[in-house]
A and B are shown apart, each in its own frame.
Chain A
Amino acid sequence: MNTVSMVVSLVNRVSIPSRLWVGGAFLTEEDDPEGCSLTLVLVESVFRRLSADQREFFDWFRDVSLYEKYHCDNYGIILDAERPDFECVNNFWLRQFGFHDEVRKQGIAEVLLPVVEGG
């Protein structure tokens, strides 16, 4: 959970309007979950208006692997229903997290960012 808190506070600090998909075995009842995955999801209009600092953070998050240090797989994607790749990308990530999968039946938690104080 520390990793999730850390990423949430970092996104809060740069204040990127986004969603953070939190997935992985620690959301299940599996013994000794081996890690988590964090996917930072932006819509196109937000991505196009990122400030230099925000863009630097987004690129850092996409480029740096948190696995070695935090056992966390991290991804940054841009998902927008208006885009031609929406269906392909959206369905892919949902299936990767076990949605629409009768056998695995997993899910993810979605955190809306930035978190508003007292909200």
Chain B
Amino acid sequence: MSRISDIIDDLAEVDIVSQALRRLAETEPQDEIVAINLDAVLRRRADLERRLGSLLATRQVDLIRYRVELFDGSDPSALAAARSIVLFQKLVTAAFDAIRSGPKRLYRPSAENARLSSLSFARGPGGSAAIHFTIPNDRLLILESDLDEAFGVVFDLLMTRAKTMFRNIASRAGIASVTAAHEWAENAVLYGLTTTIAWRKASDERRVISLSHSDALLFKTAIEAVSDETVEEVDRPCELLALDDAAGTFRINLSGGDTIAGILAEGFPRGGSWTTRHWYTAVLQRAVRIRYATGEEAVRWSLRRLTPEA
């Protein structure tokens, strides 16, 4: 990738010099020579961009421009930047894994999907310049590649603030992707980062997003408000371990060995005569709540009826 990184270095140099010449042109507006030299530098930029686009197309790689800075434009700590990169990689892999193998609640990508979605440094961190990553990506004539879809999901996700949209994206990319995005945003909030991410396939940057520290906070808070709740009724043979009428709680042992504890449902007959260490058929209500921020599943049980086993 050395030629790609050379061009990226040259482009960074172009931006620095063109800024310097612009400043000079402002102080010396009558100086035609500064304008001519600035023209040449900008023309060089267009040529480098063309060359970069052609290289990306020939080698079938995508380029990700990733820039993290503090609110005042200064450099963040190495830890903040490194964590931001790691968590972005996790987000990309979570989305890619979902596109290839189906949405998941928790982040457990296959080794192959992790490898295929791994970003490589084209230009490492240094000063206030952007970091660049490359990643091999197929160029398909009509269809989008899995990686195209994954990047599409990542950018859609980072722009989302509405609950319905989070749910919609989770249906394609899994709650694991939303959780990874939350983790990424949490880091941005913790260290006060402004992050700019651009995805480029060939000539143009296909998607660009910039999230300030406050955008990240809004995004993180929006995810924390999203959860899915499902309720179902189940019956299970069980051994009654404890039942406290006054406290309204119970504890049972299922035939498989699992112990379940919870509360007595409103309709549960109070003041009944129950014998511990006896077997019953329990009619239970299982309420599951999945938080998008963590992917954790919280289960609440309530006991509706107990019928003695024959």
- A63-119 residues with Cβ-Cβ distance < 8 A to B are 67, 73, 75-78, 83-85, 88-89, 92, 95-96, 103-104
User: Counting CB contacts under 8 A, is B77 at the interface?
Assistant: no
B residues whose Cβ falls under 8 Å from a Cβ of A: 2, 6, 10, 13-14, 17, 20-21, 24, 28, 33-34, 36-37, 39-41, 43-44, 47, 50
B47 near A67 (CB under 8 angstroms)? yes
Contact B37 A73 (CB under 8 A): no
Q: Is the CB of A96 within 8 A of B37?
A: no
Q: Check if B33 sits within 8 Å of A47, measured CB to CB.
A: yes
A99 to chain B, nearest CB (A): 12
Beyond A67-B47, A85-B34, A104-B6, whether A92 also contacts B41 by CB under 8 A is yes
Q: Taking A75-B43, A96-B10 as contacts, is the C-beta distance between A88 and B36 under 8 angstroms?
A: no
Chain A residues within 8 Å of chain B by Cβ, number: 21
Tell whether, in the assembled complex, residue B44 and residue A96 are in contact, meaning their CB atoms are under 8 Å apart.
yes
Contact partners of B44 in chain A: CB under 8 A: 73, 75, 96
Please give, as numbers and ranges, the residues of chain B lying within 8 Å of A95 by CB-CB distance: 10, 13
Q: Considering the chains assembled together, what is the distance between the CA atoms of A39 and B14 in angstroms?
A: 16
Contact between B13 and A88, CB atoms less than 8 A apart = no
Q: B33 contacts which of A39, A75, A78, A92 (Cβ < 8 Å)?
A: A78
- Please indicate the chain B residues that have their CB under 8 angstroms from the CB of A73 in the complex: 44, 47
- Taking CB atoms, residues of chain B closer than 8 Å to A78 are 33, 36-37
CA gap between A85 and B17 in the complex, in Å: 10
User: Is A56 interfacial (CB 8 A cutoff)?
Assistant: no
A76 with B34, Cβ < 8 A, contacts A88-B21, A104-B6 known: no
Residues of B within 8 A of A44 (CB): 33
Q: Which residue of A lies closest to B20 (CB)?
A: A88
